[in-house]
Structure 1
Amino acid sequence: MSNPGISFFERHLTWWVLLCIAIGIGVGAAGGNAIRQIAGWEIAHVNIPVAILIWLMIFPMMASIDFQSLRDWRQHIRGLSLTVTVNWLIKPFSMAFFAWIFFDHLYSAWITPEEADQFIAGAILLGAAPCTAMVFVWSYLSKGDPNYTLVQVSVNDLILLVLFIPIVQLLLGITGIRIPFDVLATSVVAFVVIPLAAGYLANRWLIRTRGREWFTERFLPRLKPFSISALLVTLV
């Protein structure tokens, strides 16, 4: 049974994602030169169009985080212990292991060693970063505890600022793939620190000037279409 709080578009988001992936494959095949030009629009190893789309995609989630909820972390110590263990002690390493199994061995007949290294590096980067944005969605759909959700998202985002680069460098070093430290640091600043700071400042200022009810009931819902649209365009 569908959740009455979810729109038709959101209920069928899987199909829109698959459609955008198909469109992206077609666009890449038909307009390879144009795509390569867009890929060259970067500053300090950060692609500007991708950065803008990611900011639009994650800003609503960052603005939703209430770091004052961290004061209640002791009330959720068991849940936090589980999520921290899975996100930072299990997931990055299991992701790297399975990427090595699939791309270096099972798929070796279809991809070159250079392509395998690129895929493994991408999987390591993905596995080392917990998807905090979707936690709000899953918590809402499962009627979870919103207070615990805020606490664990806040904790994981703060840990991300500290552990992402060391874990990625460790796993890339084990696999023999090298990504310069400045590239990783720039990516963390561009895709985590800047939107996190912007979201925090917007959260504090808007709640203080307009009230929490206006912020949660009117402001955040207005951002949702921009977030979903940016996600779909990024997939393309």
Structure 2
Amino acid sequence: MTSTSSPHRAPAAEAVAGRLSTLDRFLPLWIAVAMAVGLGLGALIPGFDDALEALQIGTVSLPIALGLLLMMYPVLAKVRYEELGRLRGERRLIVSSLVLNWIVGPLLMFAVAWIFLADQPEYRTGLIVVGLARCIAMVLIWTELACADREATALLVAINSLFQIVAYSLLGWFYLTALPDLLGLDAQGFEVSMWEVARTVLIFLGIPLLAGWLTRVVGVRRRGADWYEQRFLPRIGPLALYGLLFTIALLFALQGDAIADAPLDVARIALPLLVYFTLMFALSFLAGVRLGLGYERTATLAFTAASNNFELAIAVAIGVWGATSGQALAGVVGPLIEVPVLVALVYVALWMRRRWFADAPAPHDAPARPQLAKETT
């Protein structure tokens, strides 16, 4: 794939938040409301948690499973799988992204999780699960706002989508079981088999991935790419957010007692996440600068590496450890922290563009694309 400039002018910093849809701009607020609704349901309706647990297969409640699949499908229907055909001309970008996403990112999350939560094995494990779930969703929004390379972003998202199917279970076993044993760390009994993780990934990533791919192939073939991108995707996009909020409300209905007993745990989970997102973005952006990728590709590399697929992380935590686990709570806190941090990093990226890439050619104008106000998680 040949290098392309971002097809729009860089927005002024003060306009970044305004280009997000109402749903995306206030996502932390909606998550907080969903948490409060869940806690209220658990406290006000006797036996609500027991009713949820009764509708259960293995460790996963059927209503929660529905929410998980609902929030994954629109995300995977957005992936441009056809971009995989352009692999040959992008070796440097692809190799850099794979190294950052699948070596540096998981290692960094493993480190901050053990540093900040050494005495909390469930939360620590949940954060490591978040670190292994590389972003395939909202990164499309962050790179759009930061005037990054759209085509390169689509390529990396497609690669990460497929790579997670193959690599996630192996890396989950390595970081949760093998590496702590190798380093002599006391995992306090929180070990996991590759099959447990693989089964959950195949269900909650494999099924919506197949559905998303089929939807895209059939939709583009029958109605054309413009209809699919500009009409169909904006219609189904909000379903991902609704599924996420529905799942969070149910999780907090189940988690109410645990949260009431330790209300500061959310803050303890949030701190290492804040450190992780900031460091990961800085390392990735500097890597792009050192590799001479130019601003658009550097921003693409940084945001795809710094973002995480919290939908998959929540699904894995629930599928392996259950909805009432600390791992599931840690997964839910992920998007609560990620969204405002990544919005702030958009401002940082645009500032660094003016400071470090002053001689770069200005991006040219292009035909209007679907409004960001129509895009969601």
Alignment TM class, shorter chain as reference: 0.7 to 0.9
CA RMSD of aligned residues (A): 2.2
The aligned length equals 226
2:176 aligns with: 172
Match of 2:151 in 1: 147
2:215 equivalent to 1:207: no
CA contact (8 A) 1:103 1:120 kept: yes
Q: 1: distance between equivalents of 2:136 and 2:23?
A: 21
**For structure 2, which runs of at least 5 residues remain unmatched after alignment?**
1-13, 181-186, 250-377
1:53 aligns with 2:92: no
> Greater shift after overlay, 128-137 or 12-21?
12-21
From 50, 66, 75, the counterpart of 2:80: 66
CA distance in 1, matches of 2:43, 2:192: 27
User: 1:82-231 residue pairs with structure 2 within 5 A?
Assistant: 82-104=96-118, 108=119, 116-173=120-177, 174=180, 175=187, 176-231=189-244
Deviation at 1:76, TM superposition (A): 3.0
TM-score by length of 2: 0.55
Distance 1:2 1:21 in 2: 29
Asked whether the 8 Å contact 1:121–1:177 carries over to 2, the reply is: yes
2:91 match: 77
- In the TM superposition, residue 22 of structure 1 has moved relative to its aligned partner by 3.1
Q: Which amino acid aligns with 2:106?
A: P
Report the equivalent of 2:36: 22
- SS of residue in 2 equivalent to 1:133: coil
**In the superposition, relative to structure 1, how do residues 26 and 86 fare at CA in structure 2: closer, same or farther (>3 Å)?**
farther
Does structure 2 retain, via aligned residues, the 8 Å contact 1:46–1:186? no
Alpha-carbon spacing, 1:9–1:181, altered in 2? closer, same or farther (3 Å): closer
**How far does residue 69 in structure 1 lie from its aligned partner after superposition?**
0.7
Report if aligned partners of 1:44, 1:186 keep a CA contact under 8 Å in 2: no
| SS at structure 2 position matched to 1:130 | coil
* Alignment CA distance shift 1:79-1:121 (3 Å): same
Q: Would the aligned equivalents of 1:53 and 1:230 in 2 still touch at CA under 8 Å?
A: yes
For residues 71 and 121 of structure 1, do their structure 2 counterparts lie closer, same or farther at Cα, with a shift above 3 Å needed? same
Residue aligning to 1:6: 20
Is residue 168–residue 198 contact of structure 2 (8 Å, CA) maintained in 1?
no
Residue 151 of structure 1: how far off its partner (Å): 0.7
Decide which structure has greater helix share.
1
Supply the AA of the counterpart residue of 1:186: R
| Contact 1:132–1:153 (CA under 8 A) maintained in structure 2 | yes
Offset, 1:225:
2.1
| CA apart distance, 1:40 | 4.6
TM-score normalised over the length of structure 1: 0.85
Separation in structure 1 between the aligned mates of residue 47 and residue 121 of structure 2, nearest angstrom: 24
Identity of aligned residues (%): 30
| Of 174-183 and 185-194, the range deviating more from structure 2 | 174-183
Decide whether the 8 Å contact of 1:51 with 1:190 is kept in 2. Answer: no
Aligned residue identity for 1:152:
L
CA distance in 1, matches of 2:92, 2:46: 50
Residue identity matched to 2:226: E
